[in-house]
Amino acid sequence: MGGATRGGAPEDDPGGDCPRREPRALPDPPPATAYRDYFVMLLYRIPTPIAVCRADGLVLIANPAMAAQWGAVPGELRGRNLLDRFRPRDPAQIARIMEALRLGRRSRYPVEVRWRTGPGEPERQGELTIDPVGDPSAAPPALLALLREDGGAAAPPAVPRAAASPVEARILALAAGGTTTAAIGSALGLTVDGVNYHLTRLARRWRVQGRTALVAKAYVLGVLAPDRWPPAPAAPEDGGAHPTAP
């Protein structure tokens, strides 16, 4: 019979009792710009200093933690060269990495470096991990650079550990979580002007501009705990917030 299968079940045809099910259309994928926005948002929340650069070292994008190593904000790093700040212990290693990239090798390259966050600051030392990223056919590829300072994943402060008062540390923790100035004031019993006063005072002391750079510097100095979400001040015994002289 034309309307039934061998086992007696009706066939799935337009003339039978069971109408054909139309395939459900899949939703359109998000535009490429949306993925870039997600990447940038994630990059800016990571406390590890990270930059994406060209094969010659010119920075394409950097997060606040990396910008803090320059005493700058992320936008000011675009077009600058990583080698202007981070000096390799073995300059010949850079030439070897460039040659490996030219030959299409895609390995992870650790580079021991030294740098200063600003004039008069003590010299730091650590490791830049260089990873080729992007389209495998691109030659040369873009590079992902992650900075780790010797002594642990959280970089020690370049200023005394008494870097922020308890109130300032709580303001920074709320700001790091995206709380508005008015909401920070309500949570801490301060006026909006009072919150702005503390943020301005910190910006002058740490020589940074903008809330994003303040939060990045707070992580670099150990004022905020690197392993807490929502953000929270680091414990005093771990190098967190202590009273500071006016």
pLDDT (tens digit per residue) in 151-167: 543 444 444 444 788 88
Q: Report yes or no: 176 and 240 within 8 Å, Cβ to Cβ.
A: no
What pTM was computed for the model? Answer: 0.49
Burial class from Cβ neighbours inside 10 Å (0-12, 13-18, 19+) for residue 47 reads buried
pLDDT at residue 64 greater than cutoff 70:
yes
Amino acid at 35: Y
H or E stretch including 145?
Answer: strand 142-149
pLDDT score recorded for residue 175? 93
pLDDT at residue 15 greater than cutoff 60:
no
Range 240-245 average pLDDT: 42
Which residues, in sequence order, are CB contacts of 240 under 8 Å at separation 6+?
169, 222, 223, 224, 225, 233, 234
Q: What's CA 198's distance to the chain center, in Å?
A: 25
Least confident range from 63-67, 68-72, 132-136, 219-223: namely 132-136
Least confident range from 35-39, 45-49, 135-139: namely 135-139
pLDDT score recorded for residue 19? 58
Instruction: Name the pLDDT band for 29 (thresholds 50, 70, 90).
Output: low
CA neighbor of 108 nearest in space, from 64, 143, 67: 143
Which residues, in sequence order, are CB contacts of 33 under 8 Å at separation 6+?
none
CB atoms within 10 A of CB 156: 15
Instruction: Name the pLDDT band for 74 (thresholds 50, 70, 90).
Output: confident
130-149, pLDDT tens digit by residue? Answer: 988 866 566 678 889 999 98
Q: How far apart are CA 33 and CA 44, in angstroms?
A: 17
In angstroms, the Cα distances linking 72 to 16, 19, 41, 85, 126 are 72, 65, 19, 12, 20
Q: How far apart are CA 6 and CA 41, in angstroms?
A: 58
Burial class from Cβ neighbours inside 10 Å (0-12, 13-18, 19+) for residue 49 reads buried
